[in-house]
Amino acid sequence: MNIAAVGPKASSLVCPSCRANVVTRVEHKATTKTHIIALVLCLFLCWPCICIPYCMDSCQNADHYCPSCNAYLGTYQG
């Protein structure tokens, strides 16, 4: 569930939990999409290419957190 409209990069907003004006802390997480891209690269290109999706933020979700209270603020699905 998205609490705030967030993008792939850190966003400025008011934290609904602590009411502070913050720039979000972003953690990128691999998803099923990331694993599928890695599998396709492995099958059709070469096995050293499988690390590419894990190094690219655009192939992962961006979870946003408040740097003050660590509250979850939303996810951008890349």
DSSP code string of the chain = --SS---SS--EEE-TTT--EEE-EEEEE--HHHHHHHHHHHHHT-GGGGGHHHH-GGGSEEEEE-TTT--EEEEE--
Structure pTM?
A: 0.81
Q: What is the pLDDT of residues 3-60, one digit of tens each?
A: 667 889 999 999 999 999 999 999 999 999 999 988 888 888 777 778 888 888 888 9
